[in-house]
Structure 1
Amino acid sequence: MTDYDVLRVFCAPHGGYGNELGVVRDGSTLPEPADRQALAAKLGFSETVFVDDPERGVIDIYTPSTRLRFAGYPCVGAAWLLDVPELVVPAGTVGARQDGEFCWIEARPEWAAPRTLRRYATPAEVDALQVPPPGDWLYAWAWEDEAAGRVRARGFPGRGDGIEEDEATGAAALQLTGRLDRALNITQGRGSQLLTAPQPAGWVELGGRVFLER
């Protein structure tokens, strides 16, 4: 079995919650895309990262069913683990920095696969949602405190690869920030925390806590 680490990305202040991420630190052990896809499907995480060059931050990202040009929480997790100033993904170069308990990346919302961003009137409505039938990637959100930029959100991939609800979705947070053009403090899933901040020229910073699970 290929060696891999498991991180939890976008954890709550006490260290709980967060989205599990598989990271194969030595991507050369599985150089072929088909083999990487098979391992990602076997592991079953929302995403699995293969590190192709740890010094330059070159990574390759897979869901259980497809390869991604970019994804938010895998980049935050990989940036924290590799401790590099940037990552290189097929979509482009992702800036990275550490700031106390938070790891931040800077990316463009349009790099991510499209999500349906659906606003609800109250957080209670978001909490009450049932997993929808397979279909579009749904990011359900509502203001908890609009003046403070606090958002309640849940993510439903709907892509039929066995993941009914995504605990923390960095790409959707980037897209929502790009749409609203303001900094956000997002609580997603059971209690994961994602922070965002718009930057000049359409870039967005995305940050969160990362813990090494095993």
Structure 2
Amino acid sequence: MYEVEVKVPAELDRVRLLLESRYGDGDGDGSGNGSRNEDKHGNENGDVDGDTALDATPAGTVVQTDTYYDAPHRSFAETDEALRIRRERRPDSDQNRADGHDGDTRVTYKGPLVDDESKTREEAETAIGNGETFDSILTNLGFEPAATVRKERERYTVVIDTDTTVTANTSPTEFTITLDAVDDVGEYVEVETEVESEIELKSARDGAYTVLESLGLDPDDQLRTSYLGLLLDS
């Protein structure tokens, strides 16, 4: 499984306004005034052009706390890999429960970046019953916590047609749009999807670019550095 992800810095209030209006008027502000000059992506001052309007569906907001680990047998910083435990809860949840979380707890391995145009990686992830227990297993095996990244994530989903690459046809692909407010790092928008094989990577990446452009965001502004890397560099 490959996770295809494109991430750019963004003003979340502006992007949220566009998403919550569901692009209904084709101009992003609900005014019905669609007349404007277009930039190279068909937008002016970040407004959405009617020709690129998408219909996004809210998918909820969560708070994620990601603990990353260093390995005893190699340097993940040098190999561009990552191992983390992610604890997730709703913003309004009761934090007095065991582990402080009421949602999913998952362990994830991320492999090195596989291209030069996005944050696409091979990824393996599974749910675990108790984060503290799994942390104990890792530390007893020599893995040490390196850093913790906390963020509030507001998600939307959108389905667009993407090229299948194998044929001349297109197929509907679901993308997740995530508005991230990351502690000590800043505000970003991620667009991502998952594909099974390398042959699907280009069409998925092009689809992610299309979604970004429909939000008035420029794929050329993307950052391929992880939130962990941005935090460690701050």
TM-score by length of 1: 0.31
Whichever of the two has the greater Rg, that structure is: 2
Q: Which protein has greater RCO, CA pairs closer than 8 Å, 6+ apart?
A: 2
TM-score by length of 2: 0.29
